[in-house]
Each structure stands twice: as structure tokens, then as C-alpha cells.
Amino acid sequence: MALHEDGCRFLIDAGFSPDEAWLAIRLVAEFVEGFAARARYRASGPVGVQGLDDVAFPEDYPSLMRARRTLGTSDSDHYFSFGLDCILRGLPCGR
């Protein structure tokens, strides 16, 4: 909770309302937590969880396969960094 308190205080000092600060902290935390949970879930190998490397019929997903050819195999670090960067750059301050 101390980390959330520090984050909220920092964002409020930067011009966010208390509500916006809390929502921003929760958004980032839930992205990170969700990413970690999905990675753990995939690592355990359950049925029905697919990534671009696991698609049985790639011809059914031409756009995704084109992206895979450009990006290479799944790169969790790249995906995480891209997603977090999108969130952080997109947070509006003082609407």
C-alpha cells in the first residue's frame, strides 16, 4: 500500500486530481499484475491459451502472422515495454 500511496502523492503533486491519480495507479498496477499472471498461466501450459507461435491454422490469421514475421517470435519483454509505454504516455494530466 505504501507504494500506491507514494505513487498517488507523486501524481497529485504533478497535477492529477486524487481520483485520476488513484485510477492511474490502478491501471498501471493491473497491467503489470495481469501481464505477470498471464505469463505464469502460459508457463503452466494449460489448454486453450494461444500465442502467435501456437496458432494451428496460420492462414486464418494473415494480419497476425504478418506482424509475427515482422516482430519475430513472441518477445514478452518487448510486448510488456510497449504496453507500459502506451499506458504511461497516454495518461492525461489535469483534464
pLDDT in tens, 39-55: 777 676 654 445 656 66
**In a domain? residue 61:** yes
pTM above 0.85? Answer: no
Total domain count, the chain = 1
Amino acid 95: pLDDT: 53
The alpha carbon of residue 19 and the mean position of all alpha carbons in its chain are separated, in whole angstroms, by: 21
What is the C-alpha separation between 75 and 28, in angstroms, rounded?
20
Supply the range of the domain harboring residue 25.
2-90
Tens of pLDDT, residue by residue over 48-92, are 445 656 666 777 878 877 777 666 555 677 778 888 888 888 876
Contact 50, 29 (CB under 8 A): no
**In a domain? residue 13:** yes
**In a domain? residue 95:** no
Residue 68: which residues within 8 A CB-CB, separation 6 or more? 52, 53
Residue 7: which residues within 8 A CB-CB, separation 6 or more? 21, 24, 25, 28
The x, y and z cell numbers of residue 41, run together, are: 498461466
